[in-house]
Amino acid sequence: DAGVIQSPRHEVTEMGQEVTLRCKPISGHNSLFWYRQTMMRGLELLIYFNNNVPIDDSGMPEDRFSAKMPNASFSTLKIQPSEPRDSAVYFCASSPPTDRVNEQYFGPGTRLTVT
């Protein structure tokens, strides 16, 4: 089975440029999460969706960050304009629908470097 797919795996861009990160959750999963991981701040939840609807975006750091989930099989995280402090590894994770507590399945991450 294919796991969570993220693209690109690595992105290097210059300050001020727009960056778009992509995620394809596991088929059948209805919850999707975007995280950011840095040495300084650890793992931070940015936003999560349930049935394609954003539930909580309180972790989105600034208006420069936006996320969409146009359908059940695709989500994007966009940074415009990007800044050097956005450099981090960005993870997407998904969970299946269940009335029991279940695990999150993480993608391999996108390593973003903003110069």
Which CB sits closer to another protein, 50 or 64? 50
Among 13, 20, 50, 73, binds another protein (CB under 8 A): 50
CA 110/CA 35 separation, integer angstroms? 10
Q: Which residues contact 69 (CB under 8 A, 6 or more apart)?
A: 32, 49, 52, 53, 54, 75
Q: Hey, which residues between 55 and 114 contact another protein (CB under 8 A)? A: 55-56, 91, 93, 95, 98, 100-109
Among 1, 42, 63, 71, binds another protein (CB under 8 A): 42
CB of 67 to another protein, least distance (A): 15
CA 87/CA 35 separation, integer angstroms? 13
Residue 33 contacts another protein per CB under 8 A: yes
Q: Strands, E, within 14-64: which ranges?
A: 19-24, 31-38, 42-50, 53-56
Q: Which two tokens stand for residue 27?
A: 């088929």
The footprint of another protein (CB under 8 A) covers: 4, 31, 33, 42-43, 45, 48, 50, 55-56, 91, 93, 95, 98, 100-109
